[in-house]
Structure 1
């Protein structure tokens, strides 16, 4: 069957998730391909693990930035919050899996020691823990079931982003160009969202009067 040029954009608009979810997985596929071909440098496990974590942080930043950007563009960007949020969680899980499987070789003792003694590991796990209920409830059924509680629950994304940012900074052990750039983006996104958060709390407080 041949799809006309006019029908193709309409199909993409109606079924955009079919197109964008696979696109979001391309960085992971590319990293695996590069690793298999020995193109990740002298320490491929470290590069692979860090790259997955960076992509998780990137998607989380995009997810948070959609609402502020929505105020300055006419295009509906909020429809992509679930997509970017789930991709952030997916890459965070892959980041953790790479650490446990490739770095620690399933050594539970070392994992427990890191989880209880290394601050940046503790913060990273805390961020992932906060993202877990958000990923599990990123569906229409949960929105209908939780009602107003769904929005309150999904405010955990702010805490997850801050924890992830500190984890990201501590993992480098110093402030370099990469960490400074992404932490600056995080600060800008949170500042841009601050008025929206304040209005939300004001409305909530007014509702109690």
Structure 2
């Protein structure tokens, strides 16, 4: 599968490497490929960097791994027509310092804003409740934990569930409406505080039912 990861931060790099590991053809979209290519962390995969306007070309799946406050602007430059869009971003607002607040919550979500801005795309929310390393290697936690999938389109959810299985996720809870992304994104204020208390970002929850 051709995967276009939008975003060059730690989560974007982890996802791009993880998708390559399981055999997918991956490009990473960035505003300035030459500038990004000059960063030390891109020394190994700099040849996979493309401009945002080119990232969606030929992609079967587009992944939004940008910072939530800039997601809409970045995705506005990407061809999303007919694409499954996996949104892993969170609308974290650091303007008042740490811990961050959420720029959207309760009655809306970043995922729904993206869907409204791109009605021709099929948006699925997943993987936003764990850090980048756990996203692509759930076994690193030493026990099975739970990941969530939310989206209006059954076929798009199926694409994402297959990808999650390839990454090693076996306990997947699926929501059949994208508005469930509101709850998934609102998990982040607690996640941030747990990270501070535990002293690590390598953790997740297990849903017992």
- Please tell me the TM-score bracket, short chain as reference: under 0.3
Higher Cα Rg: structure 1 or 2? 1
TM-score by length of 1: 0.24
Q: Which has the higher helix share?
A: 1
Q: Which has the higher strand share?
A: 2
